[in-house]
Amino acid sequence: MEIKIRDLEENDLKEATDLVVRLKKFNSEHDPLFALTEDLDNVVMKYLKESITMDSRDVLVAEEEGKIVGIVLAEIVDRLFYQPLKEVRITELYVLPAYRKKGLGKRLIDEIAKKEKKKGCNIITVEFPNENLLAHKFYTSQGMRSIICVYGKML
């Protein structure tokens, strides 16, 4: 069965929301500062819906026979002080467990990179909870390295 990667459409919103919610729940396990917002499902769905029409955000989904099995969300960030001036930042990448270890995560990254390169982005970054060791391992394997640290505490 072939897995297609394409832009997010309105019809996908329910399934796509489920995948992003799974990722957010997983993030919340890594640090109490990622405690989940109330009404998470609706917030995620609204965010995804807006992304369909926004220029500065892109969402790609991986689809197998009508089923959404993976998703990548990216934002375009302007870099005022550094070069290159435009960056694509992956904020979410999720693949359903049964579809992992088949190169799908890499395909999603490659596709979003290709798409944003056309929009003038010459650097790709990704954000994830620092304690997510599996993510460190995965992105390192994709030739990326840690370039910025964000520290935090409750006020």
Name the one range near other proteins by CB under 8 A: 46-54, 70-78, 96-104, 105-113. Answer: 96-104
Q: Is 25 within 8 Å of 36 (Cβ atoms)?
A: yes
Cβ-based nearer residue to other proteins, 35 or 147: 35
34 is a contact residue toward other proteins (CB under 8 A) = no
Near other proteins by CB under 8 A: residue from 6, 14, 25, 79 = 25
Q: How far is the CB of 39 from other proteins (least distance, A)?
A: 17
Near other proteins by CB under 8 A: residue from 13, 15, 26, 57 = 26
Cα–Cα distance between 111 and 82 in angstroms, integer? 25
- Look at strands 57-64 and 123-126 and give their pairing: unpaired
User: Which sign does the torsion angle of CA 125, 131, 132, 138 carry?
Assistant: positive
Map the footprint of other proteins across residues 101-140, applying CB under 8 A.
134
Q: Of 24, 33, 28, whose CA–CA distance to 71 is shortest? A: 24
Give the number of residues in contact with other proteins, rule: CB under 8 A. 9
41 is a contact residue toward other proteins (CB under 8 A) = no
- Look at strands 57-64 and 4-7 and give their pairing: antiparallel
Near other proteins by CB under 8 A: residue from 10, 39, 78, 97 = 97
32 is a contact residue toward other proteins (CB under 8 A) = no
Q: Is 71 within 8 Å of 91 (Cβ atoms)?
A: no
Q: Is 109 within 8 Å of 142 (Cβ atoms)?
A: yes
- Using CB under 8 A, list all residues that contact other proteins: 22-23, 25-26, 29, 96-98, 134
